[in-house]
Structure 1
Amino acid sequence: MAVELKETIDKRREEIMDACDKLYEEKGFQDITIKDISAETNFSRPSIYNYFRSKEEIFLGLLTREYGEWNHSLLEIAEGTKTLNKDGLAKAIAKSLEKRKTMLKISAMNLYEIEENSRYELLVEYKKVFKESLEIFETCLKKYISDFSKSKRERIRYAFFPYMYGVYPYVYPSKKQKDAMDEVELEYSSVTIYQLTYQFLKLMFE
């Protein structure tokens, strides 16, 4: 491990995270094992532990990558040359989040356990990328909605990011959850990540 080039290490970590991401589309966090991830890659279980010490660290790496990719999308909005009004900004951010299903799922379903069972240095790496998301989000607000005060932008930010954690369960309820809602005659609507995000931001931008 020590003699491997960083480029090789990063590539192998990416392959492991890709396999984990694929499994997560069909299985829950608790049901995925290192053995499953091994079967999706060319790595044995002992080899995987050379790159991640636990399943939680693989998921944390995946979440960090997801936030990094979202940051890239947010930066494109922040650095764009097109003028956006409040509605246009809400739509642009909603569209960027629509592509981050895995990020929303991990954040909603397993974040606390993943953070608690990962090495501190990896948690710091994730928090750094998350902080960048907060900062770029606020940059978008500052650029396109000039009449908002700093305190107003902060209130929107502190409302939006916790709100994001509830998006996935609302958009993708399980069959069991749907059956329970039907049982008690609780109405629910089929919505998308885009729709939930857009409607919330539109409300916050008023």
Structure 2
Amino acid sequence: MPKVTEEFVLAKREEIIDACAMLYETMSFKDITFKDIAKVTSLNRTSIYNYFETKEEIFLAFMQREYELWIKDLDKLCQSKKNLSRIALADELAKTLDKRGKLLKLMTMNHFDMEGNSSYERLVDFKRVYGSSIRGVKHCLDRFCPDMREDEKKEFLYAFFPFIYGIYPYVDVNEKQKKAMEEAGVEFIYHSVYDISFNCLKKLLGADTKQ
């Protein structure tokens, strides 16, 4: 029996995550099954359990990958810009979120169940990357807001990260929801991820008063 290499395992994991990401474009988390995933991979349903114990683990790995892509954008921002005003930083950070629609959508899921139904090892892997995203944003503050105190940076992070978890429901509203809001007398005004993020970041950074 041929030896299974680490590269082989990682490739199969990526294939499963890719399949999950594709299905998530048109299906909800609750409707996606291992059978559905198997249909669009080279694996059968039983084989998938060799790489992920639960569906929640697959989605956690999917979210981890999206966080990793965001971190790359944050690192690129710090490396490519020498100086940014606070309003320019708000603009650049909003742009990084505008590219991460999949991540923002995944954030709307029930994290309590998703993390609870994942192995400890997978959860630690995810938390490491999540922590790196916080440090990535902190690095941006360190670089472009040298006059910001450490306690102000902490306040920013504790406000910013919970905020981004609530963006997606405001930018992806279906016709049924729009009709319900109209009947309930709730005004709906469409805003993009960028618009919502930029407006919030301006306030958190004090960009209206510190350019």
Q: List alignment gaps of at least 5 residues for structure 2.
A: 207-211
TM superposition shift of 1:2: 9.7
Cα distance in 1 between the residues matched to 2:5 and 2:79: 34
- Is residue 2:34 matched to residue 1:34? yes
Distance 1:181 1:100, change over 3 A: same
Aligned to 2:203: 203
The Cα offsets for residues 158-196 of structure 1, whole Å up to 9 and x where unpaired, read as 000000110011111233322221111101111111111
Cα distance in 1 between the residues matched to 2:37 and 2:75: 32
Cα distance in 1 between the residues matched to 2:189 and 2:112: 28
The Cα offsets for residues 47-83 of structure 1, whole Å up to 9 and x where unpaired, read as 1111111111100110111111111111111222432
The residue correspondences of 1:1-206 to structure 2 (distance < 5 A) are 3-206=3-206
Q: Which amino acid aligns with 2:108?
A: A
Q: Which amino acid aligns with 1:45?
A: R
TM-score, normalisation: structure 1: 0.95
Q: Which amino acid aligns with 1:148?
A: M
TM-score, normalisation: structure 2: 0.93
Matched positions, count: 206
Q: Which amino acid aligns with 2:134?
A: L
Q: Which amino acid aligns with 1:54?
A: T
TM superposition shift of 1:147: 1.6
Cα distance in 1 between the residues matched to 2:112 and 2:176: 23
SS at match of 1:104: helix
Cα distance in 2 between the residues matched to 1:150 and 1:140: 13
The Cα offsets for residues 80-130 of structure 1, whole Å up to 9 and x where unpaired, read as 243211111111111111111111111112322211100011001100100
Choose 162-171 or 80-89, whichever is displaced more: 80-89
Choose 119-128 or 80-89, whichever is displaced more: 80-89
Distance 1:90 1:2, change over 3 A: farther
Q: Which amino acid aligns with 1:194?
A: Y
Identity level (%): 41
